[in-house]
């Protein structure tokens, strides 16, 4: 797979991660699920997985930017 395919996958993962973080925040603030232990674990897991899914995309954007800078000689 080339770099553009990896960027596309990371972009979709970033979007799904944002949705998971929003779902975790909704579960925490708008429902009573967080009052039980299983709800706490589910909300914390959704939040953590969402953050992990979002993390690679900004790094890949920086690497892509750095490669372009190296090619242009700036």
Residue 72 banded pLDDT, cuts 50, 70, 90: confident
Sequence ranges of the domains in the chain: 8-68
Residue 3 banded pLDDT, cuts 50, 70, 90: confident
Calculate mean pLDDT across residues 47-74: 91
Residue 43 banded pLDDT, cuts 50, 70, 90: very high
The pTM score is: 0.83
Residue 73 banded pLDDT, cuts 50, 70, 90: confident
Question: Is 74 in a helix, a strand, or coil?
Answer: coil
Calpha distance 15→35 (Å, rounded): 28
Write phi, then psi, for 2 (nearest 5 degrees).
Answer: -90, 180
């Amino acid at each position: 797979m080339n770099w553009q395919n990896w960027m596309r996958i990371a972009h979709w993962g970033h979007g799904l991660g944002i949705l998971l973080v929003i779902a975790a925040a909704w579960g925490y603030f708008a429902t009573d699920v967080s009052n039980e232990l299983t709800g706490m674990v589910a909300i914390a897991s959704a939040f953590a997985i969402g953050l992990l899914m979002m993390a690679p995309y900004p790094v890949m954007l920086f690497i892509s930017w750095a490669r372009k800078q190296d090619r242009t000689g700036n």
